[in-house]
Structure 1
């Protein structure tokens, strides 16, 4: 919330998101545990169901013990998921001179003078430089409308869609027009996407950025475009964040 015209505007999931994580998920886990304990004898008789041995073990326990154990495990599982969800929360703070992106203990600020345009691409908040390079790409479930209002509230340039969307081309091996080494990086990144190695895919996105190549994903298909430097500027900014 903004306290005044010059105050930073914070966009996050708010208290309701925390309530869902820390109260809702353990409650769902407890209910699931109760259902499993109550139906363990029936589930243990199904030949096709996985973990039949676990259900047989639960069925052998006294009813109250099985119920308490299953509910406790469900609550614990809900708390674990809540902790992971809390760590993955993104907080975006937009001020008159800079934007701050915070996730998983990482904290990054991008000066306004470096940002030409901000927009949301699917579930990614993207900050673009004047030459079309990505300064940041952060995966988030935050409302696009709230992000738009926060940036526009301080006079930042906001686009309702990727201003370079028509410039992307589908990547296929040995496609002409790419800077040196970019094709090899895209091959390696394709393998990372197919193996669900999100960290490696993000690292390779940064390597491509240094070559002057911006990449976006549609499922496991890669699309690319060049920045205005066309790969000649080896110091192109590296995008950071949760996007692959």
Structure 2
């Protein structure tokens, strides 16, 4: 981090060196070993893809091992490229914060943000009503993020100021706005099937209703923002049929 005008927090050169300098050689070595041991592996009845190893064992050496090493190195390069694209980069100044990942950029202006924090492995920005302006998975060092935001006057919190307001979601639980229970059911199914994009989009839909969701061990916890319209205390959410 350097400079008063803007601070950038990323994974650093060491992480890039590990991916680009480590994955291709590992892939090449794995390819070479598999090709060299193809005959031995083909004799093991429990090994999957025995037919492939039998075919490899009939090909001339060392050509097949060299080819397998090249393919392994290419696979390592592809993996390093995917890892590089998936890295989160956070750039902060006094007016806005910008996040970039996988070629996509999202910005949040400073005047909308009431609190910045790291919740578990997520970078979170909260607005004045307690709603989430942003929640992004982050492997970045918490101390570096804290220093970056504080250096530019952003309000940093060591823990979620609304943590005590969360309740474990149970289908049909009273207190949710109309439609939120159905969205939480759909999001539960998305989490069970590891559909991350669907779960993210359903989180946004819940946010529009004033419902904030956080996940713990594949369980959903929820709270209401100040702008949420909750049903009366004696009004229960009608249970919906389970269509799983």
Whether these two folds match at TM > 0.5 is yes
Q: Please name the residue that 1:72 is paired with.
A: 70
Q: Please name the residue that 1:14 is paired with.
A: 12
Task: Note the aligned Cα RMSD (angstroms).
Answer: 1.3
**1: distance between equivalents of 2:142 and 2:79?**
25
**1: distance between equivalents of 2:46 and 2:156?**
53
**2: distance between equivalents of 1:35 and 1:93?**
43
1:169 matched to 2:156? The reply is: no
Q: CA deviation at 1:219?
A: 2.6
TM-score by length of 2: 0.90
Q: Please name the residue that 1:190 is paired with.
A: 188
Q: CA deviation at 1:136?
A: 0.5
Runs of 5+ unmatched residues, structure 2? 231-244
Q: CA deviation at 1:156?
A: 1.1
Greater Cα offset, 13-22 or 89-98: 13-22
Give the conservation status (yes or no) of the 8 Å contact 1:12–1:92: yes
**2: distance between equivalents of 1:219 and 1:53?**
40
Q: CA deviation at 1:35?
A: 1.8
Q: Please name the residue that 2:211 is paired with.
A: 213
Deviations 1:106-125 (A, max 9, x none): 11111111111111112111
1:2 matched to 2:13? The reply is: no
Question: What secondary structure does 2:189 align onto?
Answer: helix
Q: Which runs of 4+ in 1 moved over 3 A?
A: none
Give the conservation status (yes or no) of the 8 Å contact 1:213–1:231: no
Runs of 5+ unmatched residues, structure 1? 233-244
**1: distance between equivalents of 2:184 and 2:130?**
19
Which of the numbers 86, 104, 109 marks the counterpart of 1:106? 104
Q: Please name the residue that 2:242 is paired with.
A: none
Q: Please name the residue that 1:238 is paired with.
A: none
TM-score by length of 1: 0.90
Question: What secondary structure does 2:62 align onto?
Answer: helix
**1: distance between equivalents of 2:161 and 2:48?**
49
Give the conservation status (yes or no) of the 8 Å contact 1:210–1:231: no
**2: distance between equivalents of 1:63 and 1:166?**
65
